[in-house]
Chains A and B, each alone.
Chain A
């Protein structure tokens, strides 16, 4: 069964002047369809203003479609009675780590979601402990969030979502404000949750090296999905990626140039090890 199903989705930001007349319409999403299977690790990439964050907010029912339909776990996001169940089953992690932590103590913040759901006290404690352990932040449970690094704060935010026992996590550029170490921390945590807890992950980013391990990658531009496929397929189409104002990981680009120069190596190389292997095979 599909975790997320998006059909012909369109969303318009409408600007009105003081009289309430429509001043301009910005079609942020324009005819997007996609399916995400349970347990998948999906990445959506795109330059600024490509509509990827707007798409993410539809999956958590923060925004509603202007046209088309979004189903999360079989529930239509337009139906009011589904709202809270959708938000529970598709948790969302935002970009700014400071602006999504509510409590002044780490464990209380993780408990915020279950409290809202009306979970009994004993079970909240169990869930908090389990979620903090899953993201490797258990030893910081009594600390103030202000004392944590950016990467740690994002892990706390992820734990806060995990405590609501979601089937799916949507991460909206969770690493955009982090340093390289923090980025690695967050991405490996997310991957771990995907593999061990079988959580469906929808990662929205513009860092190309974060999508290498995804099951499927969607590239967005001007509100449309312009490319889709496995990371290997996407990365073997380098000129196209560049056209969409996206960076390509260094190794991939080097391999691509080598191939163009006539070196006989496979297409879509994703890591340094792979390139070394390919070049060694060449010598053999």
Chain B
């Protein structure tokens, strides 16, 4: 199950999208998400779909791999679609006993399904093409103005990147503790939910103890290397917008403008409805 979740993974290939500035990709994703939630018209979604397909093509990430990300939300997807389908009031199309499908229900069910899938596809496309480091750097720079209202932006970014560094180490450690406890007769597999949850205690306690010890060591090592917060720090890899990024911003904004124009003037286009 955990292996199915591709959201948040990085897919290492070399593409235009991979080389773009992380800030651009973050802003782009935000704009894309706004565009899928703002409009629910047929022509609007044609434009959105075309845009997404061309971005996926540019990213060089295999389409099958991207689709795997949807697996994780399949349950949520089915739930929302069914509820929307049967519980929306309006003009009745089909009646199945006490259940009824309305025209409006069909419409909102389909668009809800599309929205959720596009949301996952769009945001996972960003993480596929951006390394965790670039992502935290981008976030730090984008959120920088929030420092004015006392948000510890640098600290948050630093915590994120340290967490990313320690995920594989802690996974390995979990595995090690699990084996050690199994060798002592611990049982992680049988029994009901309560028994299994209780079984996790001998795993979690040592894991937490060791995580705190690591945190302590790391803090000392960072201080020994003169770390004293974000003040007066320079960057080894500072972010710079290139001309390519500027062109991409223009494309992005024209896409957004196009979607807005379509949604305003849709009533003049040939009518199409489900």
Contacts and interface: CB of A to CB of B under 8 A. Distances in A.
Interface of A: 60, 62, 84, 87-88, 91-92, 94, 96, 98-105, 107-108, 111-121, 124-125, 128, 145-146, 160-161, 164
Contacts of B226: 84, 87-88, 113, 116-117, 164
B218 interface: yes
Top 6 nearest A-B pairs (CB, nearest first) are A100-B221, A111-B236, A99-B217, A116-B226, A113-B225, A92-B224
A118 B228 CA distance: 11
A111 B214 CA distance: 21
B232 interface: yes
A161 B226 CA distance: 10
**B-side binding surface: helix, strand, loop or mixed?**
helix
Given A94-B217, A118-B234, A146-B168, A103 B225 contact: no
9 contacts: A99-B221, A100-B217, A108-B236, A112-B225, A115-B233, A117-B226, A120-B234, A124-B236, A161-B225
Contacts of A98: 169, 214
B235 interface: yes
Contacts of A100: 217-218, 221
Nearest to A119: B234
Contacts of B235: 115, 121
A92 B214 CA distance: 17
Given A108-B133, A119-B234, A121-B234, A91 B225 contact: yes
Given A62-B220, A99-B214, A100-B218, A118 B233 contact: yes
A115 B155 CA distance: 15
Interface string B117-161: 000000000000000110000000000000000000000000001
A112 B235 CA distance: 9
B164 interface: yes
A258 B182 CA distance: 50
Contact of A104 (B164, B214, B225, B238): B164
Contacts of B225: 87, 91, 102, 112-113, 116, 160-161, 164
Interface of B: 132-133, 161-162, 164-165, 168-169, 214, 217-218, 220-228, 232-238
Given A116-B233, A146-B169, A103 B223 contact: no
Nearest to B233: A115
A200 B93 CA distance: 85
A87 B228 CA distance: 12
Contacts of A121: 234-238
B15 to A, nearest CB: 18
Contacts, number: 89
A114 B227 CA distance: 10
Contact of A102 (B218, B232, B236, B238): B218
Given A88-B226, A100-B218, 14 more contacts: A60-B224, A87-B224, A87-B226, A91-B224, A99-B218, A102-B225, A103-B133, A104-B132, A104-B165, A107-B236, A111-B236, A118-B232, A118-B233, A118-B234
A76 B264 CA distance: 72
A146 B172 CA distance: 11
Contacts of A113: 225-226
B237 to A, nearest CB: 7
B236 A115 contact: yes
A17 B66 CA distance: 56
Contacts of B161: 103-104
Given A98-B214, A121-B238, A103 B165 contact: yes
B166 to A, nearest CB: 9
Nearest to A94: B221
A84 B224 contact: no
Given A96-B217, A103-B161, A104-B164, A62 B236 contact: no
A96 B165 CA distance: 15
Contact of B227 (A62, A104, A112, A146): A112
A84 B228 contact: yes
A243 B50 CA distance: 80
A107 B221 CA distance: 17
Contacts of B217: 94, 96, 99-100
A94 B164 CA distance: 21
Nearest to A160: B225
Given A104-B132, A105-B133, A112-B227, A94 B220 contact: yes
Contact of B234 (A96, A124, A164): A124
Nearest to B220: A62
A92 B221 CA distance: 8
A115 B238 CA distance: 11
A102 to B, nearest CB: 6
Contacts of A104: 132-133, 161, 164-165
B221 A102 contact: yes
Contacts of B238: 121
Contacts of B220: 62, 94
Contacts of A164: 225-226
Nearest to A104: B165
Nearest to A98: B169
A116 B227 contact: yes
B22 to A, nearest CB: 15
